[in-house]
Amino acid sequence: MNSTNRENTDLPRTIGLWSAVAILVGSVIGSGIFRSPAAIADRVPDATAMMLVWVAGGAFALCGALTVAELSAAFPRSGGPYVYLKEAWGKLPAFLYGWAELTIIRAAALGAIATTFAEYFMRALGNDPGVAPYSDQVHYVAAGAILLVGTLNYCGVRWGTLLQNATTIAKYGALLVIIGLAFAIALGGDAAAAVAAPAVPDATRATVSIGAFGLALVSVLWAYDGWADLSKVSGEVKDPQRVLPKAIIIGTLAVIGVYLLANLAYLSVLSVEGMRASRLVAADVASKAMGPAGLAFVVGAVMISTFGTLNGSLLTGPRVLFGMSEHGSVFRHLGRVHSRFQTPHVAIGTATVLGAAFVLVGTFENLADAFVTAIVPFYAWAVAGIYLLRRRAGYQPPFRVPGYPVVPALFIAATIYLLGNALVDPGSRNATMAVFGAILLGIPVYYLTGGSRGRST
């Protein structure tokens, strides 16, 4: 196929406000809200504590999103955090983020999202994805989904955004339907008080440690992740200085609101113990509330949701790899733009193949945890760059984060707590150290491949 090397600014600006909102919302709402509640209930087996974890995760995401809204308006170029790290801290931090995206972040994200899609696909066929041979087939279905969506995005951003718009409307609407029906049935039945009782604080609540709360927050942040994804396609957004801040704020608030309502709806139908035992919580809630018809509806909604999020991840993530082309000849091909489709096709193909490989060997839990552990330090590093940029002459962003300097500081402090807790906890320490080791391996790669001598702009 014919292709040509071009700069980031050569990607055409075709994404408007509501397509931008759809990219953000569609990137966030995927597997997390349908899959993570079970893991969260297992770590914090108390309804009040569960809701506090979701509120804390929403506040964390909002603080980060508000800061990224300023940075994206100031530097509306493809790559998002990659660009902000480079502008504030220099080429090495930017390279390390790109290296982490290449080796861990994008592949782990694609694998975790596609796994949930495949599990619900198996459920739609009447098979239990938790038992053999279907548990093995989940990996192959997930890999096939990644390859299909990667092909669509290879063939043009228009197809990617059209798919994203359609799936975002479908998944957000379906989630609202699930919430409404769950509340209506729980409040209308005689058993309403019994199933809703676990959400009411009382003296019998389970004790939740700070460490368990932190581990649950990792799962919540997986569900909330995607608030920064829109910034990665900044170079393809129309009127970016006006559209990007609006889309980031509107999209993030919309997600927080629907997530809190969804968890209250889950608790109105299932007890906390029921949620702990529920591998596919949304399907079990629908089955209990509405029978076979509700189960079929939710299975379809989750498949659409996760497929859309898979598309959002492949629409945005490869733009970071695209930016890595400036770091020496080894990564030069990642910056190629297809002459016909006008997409960073090498970057998309690379992310697609790695994602399919990861999902063949990883489980949902270890892929999701690896993703969060790898990405949040770079989010915090990029957010911290705002303190340097605000002191520089000529830095005049069209949007400024409200609550500065407190809002960015809250995001950074929460990240330190999250990572510190992961390092202290015996159950997650080894996996966390392995992720950090893989990221730090990028330092010698940076110097050995000529990354430090790459282009400066």
Q: What is the pLDDT of residues 423-432, one digit of tens each?
A: 887 778 888 9
Please tell me what DSSP assigns to residue 121.
H
Specify whether the CB–CB gap between 73 and 247 falls below 8 A.
no
What per-residue confidence (pLDDT) applies to 200? 39
DSSP string across 226-254 = TTTGGGGGGGGBSSHHHHHHHHHHHHHHH
Please tell me the pTM assigned to this model. Answer: 0.81
Pick the residue with more confidence: 372 or 199? 372
Range of weakest confidence among 90-94, 300-304, 374-378, 453-457:
453-457
Specify whether the CB–CB gap between 23 and 233 falls below 8 A.
yes
What per-residue confidence (pLDDT) applies to 282? 77
What per-residue confidence (pLDDT) applies to 159? 64
Specify whether the CB–CB gap between 450 and 328 falls below 8 A.
yes
Please write the tens of the pLDDT for every residue from 181-231: 778 777 765 444 434 444 434 434 557 777 788 878 878 887 888 888 888
Range of weakest confidence among 170-184, 315-329, 345-359, 412-426:
315-329
What per-residue confidence (pLDDT) applies to 203? 37
What per-residue confidence (pLDDT) applies to 57? 92
Mean pLDDT over 384-396 rounds to 94
Long-range CB pairs of 147-152, under 8 A, 24+ apart, other chains included: 147/352, 147/356, 149/307, 149/310, 149/311, 149/314, 149/352, 150/314, 150/348, 150/349, 150/351, 150/352, 150/353, 150/355, 151/352, 152/311
Distance CA 199, CA 261 (A): 13
Q: Percent of the chain, pLDDT > 70?
A: 88
Q: Which SS3 state, helix, strand or coil, does residue 302 take?
A: helix
Enumerate the H helices of 189-239 as residue ranges: 192-196, 210-224
Distance CA 323, CA 233 (A): 11
Enumerate domains of the chain plus CATH numbers: 3-452 (1.20.1740.10)
Please write the tens of the pLDDT for every residue from 30-87: 767 877 788 888 888 888 888 999 999 999 999 999 999 999 999 988 788 999 999 9
What per-residue confidence (pLDDT) applies to 198? 43
Mean per-residue pLDDT over the chain, rounded: 82
pLDDT band at 10; cut points 50, 70, 90: low
pLDDT band at 455; cut points 50, 70, 90: low
Mean pLDDT over 260-287 rounds to 81
What per-residue confidence (pLDDT) applies to 194? 39
Judged against a pLDDT cut of 70, whether residue 329 lies above it is answered with: no
Q: From the CB of residue 241, how many other CB atoms can be counted at a distance below 10 Å?
A: 15
Judged against a pLDDT cut of 80, whether residue 132 lies above it is answered with: yes
Judged against a pLDDT cut of 80, whether residue 243 lies above it is answered with: yes
Specify whether the CB–CB gap between 50 and 212 falls below 8 A.
no
Among residues 201, 220, 303, which one has the least CA distance to residue 262?
220
Cα-based angle 41, 362, 332 (whole degrees, multiple of 5): 120
What per-residue confidence (pLDDT) applies to 435? 93
Pick the residue with more confidence: 338 or 351? 351
Specify whether the CB–CB gap between 417 and 119 falls below 8 A.
no
